[in-house]
Structure 1
C-alpha cells in the first residue's frame, strides 16, 4: 500500500514536471495580444483570433537580419504582408517587440537599444495599453478596454509597406495627415524600401500613380464612380471583389473588399515595378495572378505624348485625333509617338465645338477642375467649358447613374494640354471625353461621317438588290 502511494506521488510529480517543462518550452503563444507585461520574444509569434494572420520575427534566407512581420497563418510558403522595421532590421541574436514606457509598440535589441517605434504621442501610461493582431491583418495599438477603431492609438493599416489588404485605405486622411501608399521592397529577400511606389495623387481629379524614384511610370486614370477609368478589369463580372472610392473634405482614399471571407486577395507593389493582384486558390494551394499593371505598351505613361491617343487594337498604337497631326513626322513614321500631336488649326473661342471620343481612359488629371454638382449633366458641362476659353476638354465626373453621365454626375474640366490618353474597345470600358476643336475641323469631321454613312447605305442598297435578283 505504501509502495502504491509512493508510486502515485512519483507519477503526480513527474506529470507536473512534464507539464511545467512543456509550458516553458513552447516557442510561440496562441494569444493575439502583446501587453506591457508580456512582450514578444524572437522565437515567439502571436496569431489573430480567427487564425488568419500571424505576427513575429522573420529572417530572410541567408541573412542574420530580423524583421517584425505579419504573414498569413495557414498559407505556405510564408507570404508576408507587412514589415514594421523594414529599414532598421535587428542584427543581434535576440530582441523583443514590446509596449514601451511611453505607450508605444517598439522593437529593441538585447541591450534595450531602440530599433523601431510606432512613434506616437500617447497621453496615458503603458499599463493599460495593448497591441493586438486582428483577423483583417491590422496590428493595432489601443487602450485595453477600448475596442472602438476610431480610438486606435496607432495601426499598421496606416503605415502599409508593399501590400494592400481588404479594408486597407490607399490615400489621404485629414484627421491623421497621412497619405497612405505602397512602396516596393528592394528584392524578394530584402524588404527595405525600394524604388517603386503606388500612391494616390489627391490633386485635381484624384488618380493613382505608379512611380519609380518619383517619376511616373503608369497611372490608373481617375475614379469615374464605377472604377478607375484606366482599369477596365474593375468592371463587376460576378467577382468576389468589391471596390470603393471616397472623396470628401476629410478623406480621399481607395479600398477594396471581399464578398466571401474565405477568399484571400492582396495587391502587391513588386520590386520589379509591376503592380500585381493575387488571389489564393485553396484547391491548388497557390497564389493566382488576377491582374497586373502596367501590362502593355499603352499602359506606359505618355506613350503617345500630348494630344496623342494610344490604342492597342491599332497598329501603330499611337494616333492623332481629328483636327490634330503628329508634332514630329519623322519619329511618328518610325512608330515613336512620344512627341505627341499638335492642332492643325487654332480654335477661336466662341466659334468652335467639341469632338466626342468614346471608351477613353481620361487624360492625366492633376490639374483638372472638378465641378462637383451632382445634378450637372453633359450639356451643363459643355456650357461650363464653352464659357472658359482655356478649357480644352470635359467629361462627366461620375457615370454610375447614367452610364455616360448624360443624366448627371458632375463635371471635370481640363484647361491644360491633354496627356496620356488611351482608347479601349467598346467591350473593355473607358468613358466619353469631349475635346475642344475648331469649327472648321468639326465641319470636316461631320462631312467625313456623312460620307461614310452614305457609302455604307449605298452598299447596303446594292446588296439588297443583288439578293433580290438571286
Structure 2
C-alpha cells in the first residue's frame, strides 16, 4: 500500500466500529482510538495508548492491567511517537494491523504489523493473558499470521522466545529503552549468539558488555521452567511459569542491567531475584584475553593470567589496568606442541567466550577430548560440558581465551595447554618441591653440626635482645593504653570498671595485643582511600587494607570527636582481645597515634549476613544447607560468650548486620561495642539506658532495662526466624503495625502451616523436617517469659540432635501483654533504630 493511498482512510474509518474498552479482540475492520483499551480475557494485560514517565508523547503499548505500578512490556511505535491523542489502531480485515495518527485531514501511517503472507479470510487481533497480541486468520484461531512475542522490546515474558529463526533469519532479541521517559531503541541489547556453544550476550552497541555461561542453564526453581530448543528451524530460549498467579519478567533497563523480577503482592512492587552485570568481573573482558577474573578479591589480584601466560603490559597491569590481558611466557609457535607439554586444570570457572570455540562432538570423554586437543597445535585449551542431557560435549579453544571468570555456580573446569617448562613448574608446586627437598636432605647432614652451633649462639643473643626490646615496647604500649583509656575525671577507665576488678593493673591488661603504627595502616588502606571503604556506622568508618605481610584486614577508624564511639572502642578492646573462637571476629590489634583511634580486624569477604539474606538476588545463593550451617555457627559463638569465655558476656546487639561471613560462609559475631560482662555468679544486670536495635531486643530489656543471657537468646531466635523466612523482623509491620515476623510465624505455627513462612528461594534445597525443627526452636527462643526460654547450651543441643522439643509458648512481639504495657514509650519499636549507648561495663 502506497503512502498516498492513506488519504482515503478517513472515509473508510467513518464506517469502522470502535472496539469496546472491555473487549480482548479487535475484529476485522475495527479500530481503537486513544482512550480506549483492549483488555485480555483474564484481565492480566491491557493494550492501549500511554505516555511514559514525564513525556507528553503517546505510544501504543501493552502493560500489566492488574498491577498498580505502571509496567509496560511491549511498545509498537517505540521510535515514532505520536503528538497528542490522535492515534488510531486499525485491523484492516486483510491480515494486517496499522497504527495511524490524524492530521491535515488525513491519517498518516506510524507503524504496521507488516504481514507479508497471504490470508484467505478475515483476521482478528486478540490480546492474550500471556501479554501476547496475536493476529489470527479465521474465527477458530486456525492460523497465527503475526504475534507481538516475535518482536519483543525490552521485556522478556514467559512464552517469549529469545534466539534465531533459521528459516526466516529473524533474530528475537531484547533492546533497552533510551530512558524511563523514552521507549525508543536504546544502546543495550540482549540476544543469543549461536556460534560455538550458544551463549547470551548483552551488547552495548555492537560491543560485548556481559556474557552468560554457555547454555543450557540449570533451572532449580519449582515455579518456572526453562526450555532450550536447537533444531533446523531455529535456536531459542524461553521460560514458562508453573503458577499462573506469579508474575515474572526480565528486562534490559536503560543503564544496561539485565534484571529478572517477580511481583511481590505484599510489598506492592517488583523485586529483582537476579541482576547482572553488578560487579567488575561481570563486565565482558575485564582482564583482557588469556586471563581470569576473580570477583571475590580486589585488583590487582582480581586479575590473574591463565597458566603459561604473563601480562602483556606489565606496567599497566600493576597500575590496575588489566585490559591488555596476557600473552604466552614463551611465544614460540611450537613451544606448547612438543615433548613434555600438557594441561593445567583451572577449576570452577565460567568458561571463556565459546563463540570462538570449536565443537569436537558429543559423546566425547575427557580423555578423548584431551587427545584431540593434543593433535592440533592450535588448540590452547579444552573443556567438557553437559549438553542438556544429550551427552557430554568436547569444546576446544584455538587462540585467545576471553572473559574467563571464577564462578562457583554452574561452573566447569578449563584445561589450559602449557609447555614442558610450565608444566614442570606446576607439577613441582603441587608436589611440594619434592626434588628440592631431596637435594636438601643430601646437603644438610654434611653441615648440620656447624649450623647447630651457629644457631645456638644466635638464639641466645636474640633472646637477650628481644627481652630488652620487649621491655621498651611494653613501656610505649602502656603509655598509649593509658592515653586511650584515660577518663574525663582523670581516673583510668579500666580501674573504674567493676566488671574487671580482678585485673590489678591497667598497664598490663593485654601485653599480647599488637599495636600498629599509623604509617602502616595508611599504607595498608591507600591512605584511607574511598575505594577501600567497606562501610560506615554511627561512630566509625571501616576500610579494607592489606598489611606488608600480605594479610588482608578490616580497619575500623573511629570518627574524631565522638565520645560514644570512643566508649565503644574501649569496650571492644576490653572484651574481644582475649576472645578466641572460630565464630567470633578476630581482633588483630590497635592503632592509637596522632589523635587516631583504630581497631584492626580480620577481613571477611562476604560482609554481613543481612547483605546476602535480605537482598533479593544474593539470597538465592543461600540454600538451606548454607543457612543451617550459619545458624549453627551463630549459636556456637553465642554459647562461647555465655559459657566458655573468661567472662560471661552479653552481646546486647545481636542482629544479621553484626554477623559477618568468611569465604566459606562461616559466621563470625562482631561489634562488641555495646556488650556487657558479668561475673559468673551474676545471672542478670539492669540499666536505665537501653541500647541495641528494636525488634531484636527481648521484651524485658526493651521495656525495663533488664538483660541476661536470655536477652541474647531472644535475639538469636529472631535471627533464626529471619534466616528461615528470608525476611526482616519488621517486614510484616509495613502492612500491619501490630504484626511482626515473630507474630506471623507464631500464627502459622498454631495453624500447623509453619512451612508457609519459609523463603521460597530455598524450595529446591529444603529439608522440611530440619526447617520445622528450626522454626520451633526459634519460637522457643523468643518466648515472652524469660524463664521459659532455653539457654544457649540447650539451644545448641536441640539444633544438633533429634531430641523431642517442647511446644512453644506465647512469644514476645508487638500485640502481646508485655509490649502493650508501654506501648506509648515503645511506639514503633519494631522499626530498626541505631543504638543508644549505655554507660559501658557499669552496673
| TM-score normalised by length of structure 1 | 0.82
2:278 corresponds in structure 1 to 295
Tell me if structure 2 keeps the 8 A contact 1:370–1:397: no
Match of 2:123 among 121, 129, 136: 129
1:394 corresponds in structure 2 to 382
2:90 corresponds in structure 1 to 98
Q: Which moved more, 1:128-137 or 1:256-265?
A: 256-265
Tell me if structure 1 keeps the 8 A contact 2:342–2:419: yes
Aligned-pair Cα RMSD in Å: 2.3
Match of 1:449 among 411, 416, 430: 430
Give distance in 1, aligned partners of 2:85 and 2:387.
Answer: 57
Residues 115 and 399 (structure 1), Cα distance of their counterparts in 2 relative to 1, 3 Å cut = closer
1:438 aligns with 2:419: yes
Give distance in 2, aligned partners of 1:372 and 1:157.
Answer: 33
Q: Deviations over 1:368-414 (max 9, x none)?
A: 112332x2121221122112211111112426559xxxxx5121111
1:378 corresponds in structure 2 to 366
Point out where structure 1 has 5 or more consecutive residues left out of the alignment: 1-25, 228-233, 403-407, 456-470
2:325 corresponds in structure 1 to 340
Matches within 5 A, 1:102-251: 102-110=94-102, 111-124=106-119, 128-147=122-141, 151-223=143-215, 225=216, 227=217, 236=220, 238-251=221-234
Tell me if structure 2 keeps the 8 A contact 1:86–1:192: yes
Tell me if structure 1 keeps the 8 A contact 2:192–2:201: yes
Match of 1:329 among 314, 324, 343: 314
Q: Deviations over 1:209-240 (max 9, x none)?
A: 111121211111321x3x1xxxxxx652x452
Rg (Cα) greater in structure: 2
Give distance in 1, aligned partners of 2:28 and 2:19.
Answer: 19
Give distance in 2, aligned partners of 1:453 and 1:398.
Answer: 37
1:77 aligns with 2:69: yes
Q: By percentage of residues, which structure has more strand?
A: 1
Q: Deviations over 1:61-96 (max 9, x none)?
A: 444422111011100122000001111122253232
Residues 248 and 367 (structure 1), Cα distance of their counterparts in 2 relative to 1, 3 Å cut = same
1:465 corresponds in structure 2 to none
Shift of 1:314: 3.0
Give 3-state SS (helix, strand or coil) of 1:442's partner.
helix
Give distance in 2, aligned partners of 1:90 and 1:363.
Answer: 45
Tell me if structure 1 keeps the 8 A contact 2:93–2:123: no
Give distance in 1, aligned partners of 2:366 and 2:139.
Answer: 52
Count of residues paired in the alignment: 410
Q: By percentage of residues, which structure has more helix?
A: 2
Give distance in 1, aligned partners of 2:349 and 2:170.
Answer: 32
Give 3-state SS (helix, strand or coil) of 2:369's partner.
helix
Shift of 1:248: 2.3
Shift of 1:454: 12
Tell me if structure 2 keeps the 8 A contact 1:394–1:413: yes
Give distance in 2, aligned partners of 1:200 and 1:93.
Answer: 37
Q: Deviations over 1:158-180 (max 9, x none)?
A: 10100001111111012332111
Shift of 1:313: 2.0
Residues 36 and 101 (structure 1), Cα distance of their counterparts in 2 relative to 1, 3 Å cut = closer
| TM-score normalised by length of structure 2 | 0.47
Q: Deviations over 1:177-218 (max 9, x none)?
A: 211111111111111111111111122222111111212111
1:12 corresponds in structure 2 to none
Give distance in 2, aligned partners of 1:392 and 1:144.
Answer: 57
- Structure 1 runs of 4+ aligned residues shifted over 4 Å read 399-402, 452-455
Instruction: Work out which structure has the larger RCO, using CA pairs closer than 8 Å and 6 or more positions apart in sequence.
Output: 1
Tell me if structure 2 keeps the 8 A contact 1:27–1:43: no
